[in-house]
Amino acid sequence: MESDQAELLKVITSLLHKYKIPYMITGAWSVIYYGRPRASHDIDFVVDLKPEDVEKVLQAFQTLSPDFSFDKDAIKEAVNKKSIFQVLHLPTMFKFDCWLLKNDLFDKSRFSRKRRIKLLKQFMYIASMEDTILQKLRWYKETKIEKHLVDAAFVYQIQKKNLDKNYLEIWVKKLGVKNHYQEMKKIDLEKYL
């Protein structure tokens, strides 16, 4: 399954590059890249789109094979409301969640810090390790779903020497996730291996 996901990731990122749609990979796949291999049922992207980009985006997705499904109206609405739209790969029922870049300071900051990496023999843009941790803490604060805290802990523990701790500390305070950040540092990852 993971090799299917990898191939699908290459298809979508190639498409985004070809049509010059600014994006970054986030969520589980950024955790996989920085932290630990784990199963995922989707690939999360943040995309920077404005209403005038809608036709270009629709044109881009229409070039995909009929194996991919998307709702044109949902894309238009997502762009206008700065929300989310999905692209579904029908044979595998694997989905791509495309979160619209919001106007809030953290979203702008993390998008500006995205990294260009070589993954699966292809260049792609991915959220930074610090922003992966922060977004996971943010999701944990909102949902109380443990996997978000554990994902953040894996990235933190594995990348500890490479992290910009000042950046982390600033945003931990601004996002109101200081308690979760402290909790994350104490997690015994052995339980999750």
Whether 40 has a pLDDT exceeding 90, the answer reads: no
Q: State the average pLDDT over residues 112-121.
A: 96
Q: Is the pLDDT confidence value at 139 over 50?
A: yes
Residue ranges per structural domain of the chain: 2-127, 130-192
Residue 3's pLDDT band (cuts 50, 70, 90): low
- In this structure, the number of other CB atoms found within 10 A of the CB of residue 53 comes to 17
Buried b (16+ CB within 10 A) or exposed e, 58-88: eebbeeeeeebebeeeebbebbeeeebbebe
Q: Is the per-residue pLDDT at 36 higher than 90? A: no
What integer best gives the mean pLDDT of the chain?
Answer: 95
Contact assessment for residue 50 and residue 148, using Cβ atoms and an 8 Å cutoff? no
- pLDDT for residue 41: 85
- Check residue 82 and give its pLDDT: 96
Q: Which fold has domain 2-127?
A: Beta Polymerase; domain 2 (3.30.460)
E strands, the chain, where?
23-26, 42-47, 68-70, 84-89, 94-100, 115-119, 122-126
Residue 1 clears pLDDT 80, i.e. is over it: no
Note the Cα 28 to chain centre separation in Å.
7
Question: For position 37, what pLDDT does the model report?
Answer: 85
Residue 2 pLDDT class (50, 70, 90 cuts): very low
Tokens of 172: 């931990």
pLDDT of 79: 96
**pTM for the whole thing?**
0.94
120 pLDDT more than 60: yes
State the amino acid at position 96 in one-letter form: F
Mean pLDDT of 100-129: 96
Tens of pLDDT, residue by residue over 145-185, are: 999 999 999 999 999 999 999 999 999 999 999 999 999 99
Tell me what percent of the residues of the chain surpass a pLDDT of 70. 98
Nearest-angstrom CA–CA distance, 1 and 94: 10
CA–CA gap between residue 150 and residue 48 (Å, rounded): 28
